[in-house]
Chains A and B, each alone.
Chain A
């Protein structure tokens, strides 16, 4: 979980970096980069590795969740034992499932629409068209809150699983964690808002 999680976080950073070029407006580097990725020869294997990362992360998460359910067949009469747990940790399986559902929609919306359309698609225009719809913007904003929540648990947990979250580094990991779980989703969330309210240029 930790290794696939780390891989997916690094992908998120890359994805956000590319997305920030949307602020350049139409004719900017976003569409150029989209066209470059479309014609880049190594993009197919990279795509499969990325899909593999998501699938493996999901499968491992589902396995751990099922194994852990079996570990306590009879629950408590008074449900109070989880009071000391952070909400993000308690809900990580559910936020993960929500992300998976969102991902399917997100891929249909942009990946399938551009990759299997048959003709060359201007990525900026495709994004601008989607983010001119209020319900799309609202759903994306909701998703980024969920994503932030998932990362809040996941980022610190990956260092714990790898045995790196020691007293010495805990403060540093938690500080970097804030950048990861707060700033990355906030960066993503700013894009639909700006494009909807600021109008696509």
Chain B
């Protein structure tokens, strides 16, 4: 398959950046967007030019490293996939494809399509710790967890921290990410002890990083590769209110 590409190139954080045109020829329909970039980069390197920088790691949709805005859609125009899982067969031969980095004040561009998402790591760090006994793995039934609670916690735990929620939110808000992390720990018995301090610290760090505020548009839920529900944002709001008004 052949494609015309418009790709955001930016030398470093200080550079203004611009779209540059490329042509991709003979791309396999089974190649992912990232593999198409690999092919273009091989040609760029062979021609002595600077290859296009982009983030990637596992290439199987579980690590949260990749993330591009493709034709105006975060992780591409389709729902519930990561950039690395998006195959070229979902486009038409001869299509023009526009590739841009995630845009957020909290995600400064490092180079080309690579953004710095350590703001999300700092929110995690602000969340602190979970009290667990060290030593041998405990007996499985020592702490009973109802199936429904375990399922909800697992749904939240699916978050891979890719930042698609931030990139697609019209407000550049990280609420779905924070909600998933807070939910996962607040639901389980092991995380309940520190739930109040945790939610306050994480929200405070989120605001400090320069993310926007949630205005309940639910754009995040629609584009989250793991389909994490905005119900977790409702839980985050509940946890926050409870931490503010409830007794210690």
The 7 nearest A-B residue pairs measured at CB = A80-B72, A163-B238, A71-B212, A71-B172, A78-B72, A84-B222, A68-B171
> Across the two chains, which residue of chain A brings its CB closest to B237?
A163
* Cβ of B110 under 8 Å from chain A: no
Tell me whether chain B's interface is mostly helix, strand or loop, or mixed.
mixed
A to B contact number (C-beta, < 8 Å): 120
- Which of A70, A76, A153, A163 contacts B69 (CB under 8 A)? A76
List chain B residues, Cβ under 8 A from A64: 171, 213, 215
B171 and A80 form a contact (CB under 8 A):
no
B223 and A84 form a contact (CB under 8 A):
yes
* Cβ of B129 under 8 Å from chain A: no
Tell me whether chain A's interface is mostly helix, strand or loop, or mixed.
loop
Distance between Cα atoms of A68 and B214 in the complex (Å): 9
Size of interface on B: residues with Cβ below 8 Å to A: 45
Distance between Cα atoms of A73 and B212 in the complex (Å): 11
List chain B residues, Cβ under 8 A from A78: 69, 71-72, 98, 100
* Cβ of B241 under 8 Å from chain A: yes
Interface centre among A81, A86, A92, A165 (most CB of B within 10 A): A81
Distance between Cα atoms of A132 and B71 in the complex (Å): 52
Q: Mark B223-248, 1 if CB is under 8 A from A, else 0.
A: 10000011101111111110000000
List chain B residues, Cβ under 8 A from A75: 103
List chain A residues, Cβ under 8 A from B19: 77
List chain A residues, Cβ under 8 A from B223: 81, 84
Q: Which of B55-74 contact A (CB under 8 A)?
A: 69, 71-74
Distance between Cα atoms of A89 and B211 in the complex (Å): 19
